[in-house]
Structure 1
Amino acid sequence: MNTPPPPQASLGFPRLAALTAVAFLLVAGCSGSGDAQLDSGTDAAGKAGSGDLKVALITHGGKGDAFWDLVQKGARAAAAKDGIELTYASDSDPVKQAELVRDAVGDGVDGIAVTLAKPQAMKGPVAAARAAGIPVVGLNSGIDAWKSQGLLEYFGQDESVAGAAVGDKLNDLKAKHALCVVHERGNVALEARCAGLTKAFHGEAENLYVEGTDTEAVDAALTAQLRQDPSIDEVVTLNAQFALDAVKSVKEAGSEARIATFDLNKDLVKAVQSGDVQFAVDQQPYLQGYLAVDALWLYKTNGNLSGGGVAPVLTGPAFVTKTNVAAVAKFAAAGTR
């Protein structure tokens, strides 16, 4: 829910020190919120733990996105606990993300945790991992694809259910016209959120597709849409940072629209506290990263399968509103929500 990082040609473990140092420095240095820093259990090269198991976490996340900082922080915490050597790589281009998975397979990792934002692109590399005897678990994106592709387990939010819950919430708030801002066209999780909202919402709902890698373009597109249609009384974004940007767009447009969002970070918590954002839907990215890595350790050491290998393990949706935000704030400040 993203600017792609520089292409990464390989995850080869002999080359990990240079590769992961660059990757993690980019993440730590570019995040707008600074929610997550390197854990005490992670060395300067981005490796967590020093045990015999090597796990690769490969996502479609973009650099500087605080959401993926939280996923990584949870993953590193699990790796440190379990003594796993963890590497992280990402690319929002599905072809390049697929290459990263194939590289991990070629490097002989002991387990792979992967997002399936563009499931079709992942079919080949996931099949290659299975053929090599490497267990693969899914997280964050691909709840409708993980079983058919042969992944062992899945950790995340049912985005259709979450979208419907937001639609119901907007009904309770008497909203009439909702604009769902999609910042990455074709991402199955984002599309499912807006589709679920549209299905449950009693008012008018429409999608606005924007290029999430260009913040100025997003602001211009949203401002123009709000000026063009003053009947829009609710803007729903699919990422915390875009919600914060939408606050500015609403003011620039002179609109009376309220703002709601999926996902959470510490700056968004402040926006909920101040009333700039009505509510957020938290899918708990820290928990997704933690559970995915820990699940691979449990499977490799004890044969355990969360959800029995037949049902996803849901990490959301959890609504954060002005009435309960105080209870969440301390965890957001610590970089775990």
Structure 2
Amino acid sequence: MTLITPRKLLGAGALLTALAALTACSGGGAQPADTADSSGGGGGDSGYTIAMVTHETPGDTFWDKIRAGAEQAAKDVGATLQYSNDPAAEKQAQLIQTAIDSDVDGIATTLATPDALAESVQAAGAAGIPIVGFNSGIDQYKDVGALMYFGSDENLAGATAGERIAEAGGKHPLCVIQAAGSVALEARCAGVKSAVPGTENIQVNGADDSAVVASLQAKLQQDPSIDYIVTLGAPIAMDALDAMEQSGSEAKLITFDLNADAAQAIKDGRIEFSIDQQPYVQGYLAVTSLYLKVKNGNDMGGGLPVLTGPSFVDASNIDTILPFAENNTR
């Protein structure tokens, strides 16, 4: 079994505690508000505008948590949040340029396709606008010019998931990639394969649930030796459950990421476990880091990525986590 050695990374839990003190001591800090708009209004107004640009595919509920965390952070520090998204790399790059042209105070962006975004990320730096990466691009963020990074180590997450599969006797996992060209998704499957060499990848269209179900059903009927299905997003896990039922597959299911439906499926024993990257925390830290950078010149992570995962959710802790998943914060 090939093991991946964890890098020395700053954990998000300890960082959040420090952030509470930092934002409280910074003059522009604000207390959390009850409203859900994405502007300031948490009890103070720093006057800062922070842009968040993601590769969100419309309809993917995963991003609701990213945005919820970002909006809460904006309220807490009294900033205005401008959120935009496009799954096409060239259009995401245009959105970053739009934020630059708008002269925002800071930019947080996902880096699922870092090569395509490098020019726009570097343009932000050239314009004197601090830009941080989050969610995708942990191995590339420095190369493209982002100052900090907040997310899960996807290679480590995949390898750890693979180790759990191997310990349970799994030999032929099917790793389901729902978005072509995403470095984070490819890293997850590569990590699983490092621990279980019999891992096979399948590409599906994550924007079409019925197509996902049809593709997986056909694959499971064709190859009954598949003993584990590894989905890389909670909505895809729910599609996989439908495909398993329709195909009569006896494979076990694990998933990356979490939503209320997947959390309930873990509680019900239909999903073995989830590898959670805590997207709410990613959104929250990305916005807060930019506020502190602009106001105080603060950096986070000591030149290393700040980890928000992997965090495992299974039968041992689902009762604690389920209410937070239902509240859209976990």
What displacement does 1:151 show? 1.1
Q: Give 1:48 shift.
A: 4.2
Partner of 1:227: 221
* Structure 2 runs not aligned, ≥5 long: 1-32
1:237–1:260 contact (8 Å) kept in structure 2: yes
* Correspondence for 1:26: none
Q: Cα deviation per residue 1:277-306 (whole Å; 9 max; x = unaligned)?
A: 110000000000000000001111111111
Shift of 1:106: 0.3
1:278 aligns with 2:264: no
Q: Which residue of 2 aligns with 1:295?
A: 289
1:53 counterpart = 2:48 = yes
Instruction: Say if 1:42 and 1:48, in contact at 8 Å, map to a contact too.
Output: no
TM-superposed deviation, 1:51: 3.4
Say which of 226, 238, 244 aligns to 1:250: 244
Alignment of 1:178-193 (within 5 A): 178-193=173-188
What are the superposed Cα offsets for residues 64-114 of structure 1, whole Å, 9 maximum, x if unpaired?
222100000000111000000101000000000000000000000000000
Write the letter of the residue equivalent to 1:132: A
Task: Please give the per-residue CA displacement for 1:133-155, whole angstroms capped at 9, x wherever unaligned.
Answer: 00001100000111112211100
What percentage of aligned pairs have identical amino acids?
Answer: 49
Aligned mates of 1:245, 1:218 — CA distance in 2: 7
Residue number among 125, 128, 135 corresponding to 1:130 in the alignment:
125
Counterpart Cα distance in 2 of 1:42 and 1:273: 29
For the residues of structure 2 that align with 1:330 and 1:137, how far apart are their CA atoms?
Answer: 30
Q: CA deviation at 1:40?
A: 3.4
Q: Which amino acid aligns with 1:323?
A: S
Question: In the aligned structure 2, how far is the partner of 1:120 from the partner of 1:176?
Answer: 34
Report if aligned partners of 2:52, 2:109 keep a CA contact under 8 Å in 1.
Answer: yes
Q: In structure 1, how many angstroms separate the alpha carbons of the residues matched to 2:204 and 2:253?
A: 17
Determine whether 1:330 maps to 2:323: yes
Q: Which of 140, 143, 147 pairs up with 2:142?
A: 147
Q: Which residue of 2 aligns with 1:17?
A: none
Residues 48 and 62 of structure 1, relative CA distance in 2, 3 Å threshold: farther
User: Are residue 199 (structure 1) and residue 194 (structure 2) matched?
Assistant: yes
Query: Which residue in the other structure is 1:30 paired with?
Result: none
* 8 Å contact from structure 1 (residues 41, 76) kept in 2: no
Matches within 5 A, 1:79-98: 79-98=74-93
Find the aligned partners of 1:208 and 1:53 in 2 and give their Cα distance. 43
Contact 1:61 1:92 in 2 (8 A): yes
What TM-score comes out, normalization by structure 1 length?
Answer: 0.86
Distance 1:195 1:139 in 2: 20
Task: Structure 1: state its 5+ residue gaps.
Answer: 1-38
Code of the aligned partner of 2:237: A
User: Does structure 2 conserve the Cα–Cα contact (< 8 Å) formed by 1:41 and 1:77?
Assistant: no
Which residue is 1:76 aligned to?
71
Q: Find the partner of 2:298 among 295, 301, 304.
A: 304
What's the offset of the Cα at 1:41? 3.8
Is the aligned partner of 1:109 residue 2:104?
Answer: yes
Q: Determine the C-alpha separation between the residues in 1 that align with 2:248 and 2:122.
A: 51
Cα shift readout 1:249-280 (whole Å, capped 9, x = no counterpart): 00100110111000001111100000111100
Figure out how many residues of one structure are paired with residues of the other and give that number. 295
Q: In structure 1, what is the Cα distance between the partners aligned to 2:262 and 2:155?
A: 23
In the alignment, does 2:326 pair up with 1:320?
A: no
Letter in 1 for 2:181: G
Question: Which amino acid in 1 is paired with 2:297?
Answer: G
The alignment yields a C-alpha RMSD, in angstroms, of 1.1
- Equivalent residues of 2:40, 2:77 under 8 A apart: no
